[in-house]
A = this chain, B = another copy of it.
Amino acid sequence: MRRQKNYNYAFLFYDVGEKRVQKVFKVCKKYLSHFQYSVFRGELTPSNLIKLKEELKKVIVEEEDFICIIKLVNDNVFGEEILGNPSGNTGEDLII
């Protein structure tokens, strides 16, 4: 049986109904760092991933909303290229 990987880092991006953006944002912010508009990232233990998913399921409308969590073993397994201005508008000011 293939050994289950122990994921400890994640990227999360969402596309949810406007009425639910604020709630989804607040749940994500409890577990991850806000990176850009609808993208969060950061260290995320397996147990916190379970909690995050449970909280998100209570907030979203399954048929209308979409959330993708990319799990990585740690932050050494990926590289990153940034074009443009990372300090641009993260959209946080949209969240009152």
Interface on A for B, CB 8 Å cutoff? Answer: 5, 7, 11, 13, 15-16, 35-39, 49, 53, 56-57, 60-73, 77-86, 88-89, 91
- Complex CA gap A5/B70 in Å reads 20
Whether B82 lies near A66 (C-beta < 8 A) is yes
Copies in the complex: 2
Whether B88 lies near A66 (C-beta < 8 A) is yes
- Complex CA gap A36/B83 in Å reads 20
A50 to chain B, nearest CB (A): 10
Pick the contact of A89: B11, B15, B39, B69 (CB < 8 A): B15
Which of A36, A73, A80 gathers the greatest number of chain B CB atoms within 10 Å? A36
